[in-house]
Structure formats: structure tokens, C-alpha cells
Amino acid sequence: MKAPILFCVLGILAAAYCQSHDLAVGQATYGDVVIYKANECKYGFPFIVRSSIIEYPEPGLTNFAYIRAIYIKDNDRDGSGGYPTISAGGVGQRFVKIKLKSQRGNGFNFTVTIYGRY
């Protein structure tokens, strides 16, 4: 009886330790192409929250592709990374504004991939 309880506790601890803050919106299908891919990384400072805003397309440029999927992968797999949010645009639009925010005292490391169709 003690062994199953021990395995459950160990499983819960392992799941809590391996948290990441990935974000996936939409779904890339056949015919979609990568229209934007970037790595965004900022180092952490004690007691400071770091943030970054990614805009696609960059101000002053035009995008002719409709966004089909947005994948934001947290490369810090231990749960100490940041939190991604989409603040404007997104799937079905021709633009997107993504905000990346770190936890207090930590940095973040994200890979942003946007798929679209012309």
C-alpha cells in the first residue's frame, strides 16, 4: 500500500518540477509556411521583472500572409521561465503582438514560431 502512494507523490513532484510555460494557438497544417521565427532571451536580475514585446510584422512593414498558428516554446523547462501572452492580433489576422514577461528575479528564453499562408 505504501508503494503506490510513494509513486503518486513522486509523480506529482516530477510533474511540478518539469513545468514549462509554452503557448500554442492555432494549428499549422499542410501548406502553411514559417513566416517568422526568433529566439528571445533575457538574463535575470535580482528583484527585477524583465519583459519584451515582439511585433510581427515589424513596424513599417507589411505582411500579406494570414497567421494560421503561433507556437511559443519556453526553453527553460524547470518552471523558472517567463509567461507569454498575445495582446493584439493573432490567428486569422495579418499581425500579432506578443508580450513575454519573466518571473521576478529570473530571466526568460523563448522560441517564437509563427506559421502563415499566403
Mind listing the pLDDT tens digit for each residue in 74-85? 998 887 888 999
| Residue 5 zone, left/alpha/beta (φ > 0; ψ -120 to 50; rest) | alpha
Q: What angle do CA 63, 89, 106 make, to 5 degrees?
A: 105
DSSP letters spanning 46-64? TT---EEEEEESPTT----
Nearest-10 Cα torsion for 69, 34, 54, 23: 40
Average pLDDT over the chain reads 86
Report d(CA 23, CA 71) in Å as an integer: 6
Q: What is the mean pLDDT of residues 25-38?
A: 94
pLDDT of residue 78: 82
22 vs 17: CA distance, rounded Å: 15
**pLDDT 10s digits, 42-68:** 999 999 999 999 999 988 888 899 999
Residue 97's DSSP bridge partners are 55, 88
Per the CB < 8 A criterion, the answer to whether 20 and 76 are in contact is yes
